[in-house]
Amino acid sequence: MTDAASTPAAAEVPETVATYLRLRGLKPSSTSWRRKRRIVDDENAPFTPGRDPGSLGAVLDRLSRDSGWQTTLAREDLVRQWADLAGADTAKHSEPVSLERGLLTVKCDSTAWAKNLQFMRATILTEIGRRYPDAGVENLRFIGPDVPSWKWGPRAVPGRGPRDTYG
């Protein structure tokens, strides 16, 4: 045996560490090598609660919540599922066109549909709040079809447009 292995300090150093230190030209001693304390991490320890894999829906929900996408996704769901929310017949004659600052604007085929939906405004707004609370809808506005515009072309002049065109 060598002199380093016969010293009492070298007896405490594991053989692999002692060999490494001898090859580097250093004397193995118990003060130069200390066993590292293992950090106990209860969160990542096996067989602890919360270590089971979660469902894909739960993972995506947490990702969207952490990324701040919940409002945007709720608004997209509201527009995409307008037929389920308002009813199939109503959805044939109306569609959401904008959602700005809590005001959902719905465009209707006719002024009659806009007026009827205005009467149902409280019911629709309550249903939106129940199904899509993260969308941030606070008010509804129903508009009819657009009237023709006489403001087009390079030589448009101010005024009300032709007045006796429609009889």
Average pLDDT for residues 101-116, to the nearest whole number? 91
pLDDT, one tens digit per residue, over 44-78 is 677 777 677 778 888 888 888 888 888 888 899 89
Give the predicted TM-score (pTM) of the model.
0.55
pLDDT, one tens digit per residue, over 23-37 is 777 776 655 555 556
Integer Cα distance of 13 and 33 in angstroms = 7
pLDDT, one tens digit per residue, over 85-99 is 988 999 999 999 988
Average pLDDT, the chain: 79
What are the distances in angstroms from CA 139 to CA 38, 74, 100, 105? 58, 16, 10, 9
